[in-house]
Structures are given as structure tokens and as C-alpha cells.
Chain A
């Protein structure tokens, strides 16, 4: 692998995450996928290893790391199982809005328990009529005395039902358009808050996906994240931060698929020699490796760019998400091709990898929406001069 000159601390993050992947994730991934079972124990192991607090500042009990640290850990987990890695990443996605826009009180209240892994978080944005077009949001929040009253349904929410802390966007003033949405913290057990049944998915089946249902859900007034009307701003900032994480899931998954494909190609004998000896196979593997390494380099660069503290990070963030997740789809498909008949069987892990890859091109903004973001950024950049 290319040397990315990781610091000693970063190397430690990689080592810890790698050991969890080898000792906890890989031995259980098949069963969890097969049974569509949430990886509770593995998330507890990750918590015990202090990784839930990776991106959370030290004053809230975290490690004080940045986007890059998160990317390194997620890549290692995804090498083992994207479903489990997604469950871990989704907690960060739920925590970011509070970190980005939340009051000191909210941070004090929620960050330490999220950092310790005692409670998991989730992010509630998508609705039936609000996917790529976030302006279609219909969930509302109305202030009634000292409480906000939420009504509506969020769809396909990762970690729903297993998380205890939810960052949810709702319309507080429809007349204000994009400035009429606000974010709230909803806790598991709040009155009027329930979950839909668990969804059946193509891939990432160890992660859980459900609806969040708000029926006159009443929460205290101080659960508002940031000022009223800043909901979309917070969502956009959150996604800017989280996308390199999704990209790194693609990198980890691609690496896992390449590992399997090469090992298999060296071992599988046809026409009297290992199939690795055939150029037709070597070229596929070479292309997989090229795309994988290029993606990794871009993801690392984007994450470091974010950590440098620059203001606008949307373009690199979207670019790395598109590249690495499209790569993951291609590389896992190629891995199945290399393993051929065996690859198509559940006996080998590449079948699951290919199923898991697809969601990466879809969630946290489809790759088409990412290209919109990049296009708009280009338009803006070139209008300045």
C-alpha cells in the first residue's frame, strides 16, 4: 500500500480498528448479515476501545480527532463489514448536528454518552417525499408552551430503534422556505415517539433501518439544535462532514474485495495453473487496485482538507464520496467476477460485499446529487474570476 505518512496516533487508530475487525467483525459478519441482526456486541466492543469518541472534542469526553481519524477507523471496519461500519458511522451522523450547531448545554448533555458509546445516535432527515429533494419535508414542529410538538414520519433511518438519541429535522415555519426548518434532539422513549418495523434490505443487513414516527411527540423546548430556522444549514454541514466517512466505507469495502479476489486468484487452479497467472485476470485485479488507491488518496486528501479548518468543504467532500463509492461498486462486482461461480455463492464474502456496495452510491446523498453539488461548486468557482 502507498505510504500516507500517518502519525503515531493515526496508526494506533488503524491498529485498534483493524484488531476489532479481525477479531470481532469478520468472525460474525456472515451470521449477522444472514440473520439481519444488529451488531450490539460489536458496537460495545468498539465503545470499549474508545472509538465512539474519535471525532468528539476532549472536553466532552472524546478523543478530539477529526474527519481523517474517523475515515481511518471506518475504512478498517468496512474492510470487514459495511453493515456494521454503517451502524457505527450513523451514530456520528446523529451526533454531528449537535456538535455543529447545538448549545453548550446540549453538547454537555449528549456528547459524553455518545463518546463513551453508552448511547448510540441516529440522524432523521429522509421522508417519503423528501429524499434527494430535502425541501419536501413534511414533518412539523410547533412550539406549545415550553414544549415542541412533532408530527410526521421519517423514513429509512439507520440505527432507528437501537439508537437512544436522534437528531431530527422538522418544519417550524413553512412560509420561510429553506429557512423554515429546524433540528431537534428526540430521545428514545419521548412521548409520542415510536418506530416502524425493520426494513428488509439488499445489503448492509447487519444495520437496522426503520421509520421514526412522531404522533404529537412532545419534547422540551431546549431540545432545539441551534437557532430556529437553521435546520438545513446544519444538515448540509453535517453531510459535508460525514461524506468522507461514507467514501471511506467504499475504500475499506474495495480493499476487502481486492484482498479476497487476489487471494482466490492465487489459489484457484484452472487449465493447470492458478488463475492469477492469466493476464485477463491480472488486468482486472490491476484496475481494481488502481481505482482503489486513487480513491483512497482522494478520500484522505478531502478529509485532511476538512481538518485544516477551511470554510467550504462541499466540493472535495462530494468528490471523494462519488469516486470511492462508485469504485466500491465496480471493484466488488469485479471481485465477484474473479471468484465467478464461487463468488456468486454466499460461501464466499464477495457476494455480500457486492450487495453492501450499492447503498454507498445511494445514501447520504445519491451520487447524482453529489455531482450536482460539484457542478454548482464549479459554476461558482469559475464565476468569481
Chain B
């Protein structure tokens, strides 16, 4: 609990200004703490007269922290395919492992894994633990968490990373609870603290308006899920050597109380434009329906969605659900590409709160540049194909060459 020394407090209000959560205020010349205090300690650091302190709670630190060693990456396998985020995690995990001077292992669970473990080695794993069992054909939270738990308890890795995908975000929290350890969801950055080798996990909160760096000081493993497309995979290197350990799971642990009756694939490119992290929007400058093919391609490269100005929708180049603006949707993606959109007020009210706006327009005086984070003056038909080509280069350089 936050303690306030009323004698020492001079009521200067610095703590009030510093509190991220508006949990402290100065009343009658003395700081008073409210219920929404999260004990983050920001106020303690800034208090010049030392009136604030946080009772050091004696947290039980697991006695065996030092016994845990190694970095693990969950390689998500479904339908005969390893999810791309797994390779990205191997890239990130490799850096962490090298910094700590420990091996990097991948965990591969599923049925019909074939030689996928070899791919994981080629992307940076020193060791792959794989369980190939028909009971793992369909993803169920309990079976996957059970066998993963057993592996972790046996081998004691200090760090476990998984993709923040539907599957990762579903069973990894359950796994962390089983292991009585901390998990940071949806990380966008990972780093090792030099002093003690702790994993610093940075993630957005409040819909990306705030970033928080989190650690897991008292228990192991340190677990994190990481957003797809955030980390960079290493280049494939088939000369890499690694050990592949085939584990057979305890049948009792493969039992699930959840039955998957049927698994249906829906290949839909229609991402809800309100939910996409990256939106690529086109306007009148695209000239016709064909222009939107570039927009779709670019959006596809980011796993994003396509959007449009009213002019483009009214011209029939793209249907109404894609419209952003006063009479369309209001969106707030992480990155908004405005391609060939001049920036009429009615469009801008729908997208101006996007985190980053990249505007591409021929007219350097176009109002869209007033809200743009980055502006490119030029012909969309020249810039977009170049950008698409270069992005493809990058991807294939990191991917299957």
C-alpha cells in the first residue's frame, strides 16, 4: 500500500501530476491516495521530500529461480503448417538466447508434423521438442496446455514465448496459471535487462494509447505472447544443426473435456476495417477499380484491411463497408495509408486519430498532408508498386529463400 507521511508532505502536487492513473490528489495541502492506485511507484520516485513510500511487500520469490534456464518458443502448428509468427519468435528468441548465453528451443505440438522441426532449426532453434500425436489433431486448450506444462516442468526454461494468435492467446494464459507464473500478453518488444538477465516485456495498453514495460520478478518461466508481424525472423539457414527430441505424451494428459467436432477454414480477405492494425485506403487518385488491386495487395502484405474515401465508394470501385469518414466508419489503426486521397474534412474526421498516417498524393498542397505523420509527394501508380515490390523483397529475404 502507498504510504503518505503527512508531516513530510508539503502539498506541492508533483505526485498528483505524475500519477498515470489519477489515483493521488492533494486535498487540504496533503496528498491523498485513492482506490485506483496500482502501486506503480512513479509518485515515490518524484517526491522531493520523500513523503511517499510503498510498503515493501514481502513477495515470495520462488526459491529455485536460478534453476531455470534456456529460451523456448512455441511453434504453432495447424493444418500441416507452421504459423509464420513462430519463425518471427525464433528470430526474437535467438537474440535473447544469445544475450543470455543459453540455448533456444522450439516446442512443436500437433499431429502429422513430418519434418517441420527441421524448418525450426533452420530458422534458429538449437533444439526442438516435438509431440506428434493424433490427440493433438485439433487444438484444445486443456490437452495442449497439459503436455506443454509437463515439458516445462521437466526442462525448466527461463523464458517461454508464443504468438499472440487465436491459439496462443487462448491456451498460453491457461498454461501460465498452471505454472503459477506471470504472462505478458501481446508484446511488441522484448529485451534482457543487463544487470540481472530479467526479461523486459513491452506491450501496448488502452488500445495502443499507452505502452507499458513489464517484468516477472518472482517466478519462472517468464512468459510472453508476441503480436504477429512485430518481430523479424532470421534468414533461413539449412546448414544449421539442431537436436530434435521426439517426446511421447502421457495419454492421460492428452484427454480433453472439449471436443472439436469440425474445423472449418474460411479464407476471407474481408478484415473488419475497425479492427485491422494496418489500413490501406484509396481515394479518387486511384482513378478506377483496378487501382484498388494495388491497395489490396499492399494491405495483404501487412495482414491489414482495405479502406476507401467516399469518392472511391461512390464511384463504385469498392463497396460501402470500406468507407472511412463522416458517413462511413471511424477507424483508429496503428498505421493508416492514405493513397490518392486529398483529405476532405468528411474523410479526415474518420481517420485522424490513427496512430500513424502515411499520405501519398500527387498534390503537395493536399490537406491530407496536414494530418499525415509521413508524407510522400508523387504518383501513387509509381510509389505503390515500388513499395509493394520492396516489401515483397524484404519478406522473401526473411522467408523461404
The answer to whether A and B belong to the same complex is yes
Binding site for B on A (CB under 8 A): 30, 267-268, 342, 346-348
The CA of A342 and the CA of B326, in the complex, are separated in Å by 11
List, in ascending order, chain A residues with CB within 8 A of B327's CB: 30, 346-347
Question: How many Å from the CB of B323 to the closest CB on chain A?
Answer: 11
* Chain A residues, Cβ within 8 Å of B310: 347
13 pairs of residues in contact across A and B, judged by CB atoms under 8 Å: A30-B327, A267-B345, A267-B349, A268-B345, A342-B345, A342-B346, A346-B327, A347-B310, A347-B326, A347-B327, A347-B346, A348-B326, A348-B346
CA A346 – CA B326 in complex, angstroms? Answer: 11
Question: Could you say which residues of chain B place their CB within 8 Å of the CB of A347?
Answer: 310, 326-327, 346
List residues of chain A with CB within 8 A of the CB of B349: 267
A159 to B136, CA, bound (A): 58
Cβ of A342: which chain B residues have Cβ within 8 Å of it?
A: 345-346
Give chain A residues whose Cβ lies under 8 Å from the Cβ of B345.
267-268, 342
| Chain A nearest Cβ from B214, distance in angstroms | 35
B residues less than 8 Å from A30 (CB atoms): 327
Binary interface profile of B, 316-358, with partner A (CB < 8 Å = 1, else 0)?
Answer: 0000000000110000000000000000011001000000000
CB-CB nearest in chain B for A346: B327
Q: How far is the CA of A348 from the CA of B310 in the complex (A)?
A: 12
Cα A129 to Cα B326 with chains together (Å): 44
Neighbouring B residues of A346 by C-beta, 8 Å: 327
B335–chain A nearest beta-carbon distance, Å = 24
Inter-chain CA distance A30–B310, complex, in Å, is: 14
B259 to chain A, nearest CB (A): 35
| Complex Cα–Cα for A338 and B193 (A) | 58
Shortest distance in angstroms between A171's beta carbon and chain B's nearest beta carbon? Answer: 48
**Nearest 8 A/B pairs, CB to CB:** A347-B346, A347-B327, A347-B326, A30-B327, A348-B326, A347-B310, A267-B345, A268-B345
User: How far apart sit A280 and B346, CA to CA, in the bound complex (Å)?
Assistant: 24
Chain A residues positioned under 8 Å from B346 (CB to CB): 342, 347-348
Rounded to whole angstroms, the CA-CA distance of A346 and B325 in the bound complex is: 13
Closest B residue, CB atoms, query A27: B329
Chain B nearest CB from A80 CB (Å) reads 15
> Which B residues are CB-close (under 8 A) to A348?
326, 346
CB-CB nearest in chain B for A345: B346
Complex CA–CA separation, A161 to B220 (angstroms): 68
CB distance from A231 to the nearest CB of B (A): 46
Q: A342-B346, A347-B326, A347-B346 are in contact. List 10 more A-B contacts (CB 8 A).
A: A30-B327, A267-B345, A267-B349, A268-B345, A342-B345, A346-B327, A347-B310, A347-B327, A348-B326, A348-B346
Distance (whole angstroms) from the CB of A35 to the closest CB of chain B? 12
Chain A residue at smallest Cβ distance from B320: A31
A40 and B221 CA atoms in complex are apart in Å by: 55
Q: Report the minimum CB–CB distance from B322 to chain A (whole Å).
A: 15
Interface centre among A268, A347, A348 (most CB of B within 10 A): A347
- CA of A72 to CA of B41 in the docked complex: distance in angstroms? 48
Shortest distance from the beta carbon of B340 to any chain A beta carbon, whole Å:
19
> B273 → chain A, closest Cβ, in Å?
15
List the B side residues contacting A268 at CB < 8 Å. 345
0 or 1 for each of B132-174: is its CB under 8 Å from A? (1 = yes): 0000000000000000000000000000000000000000000
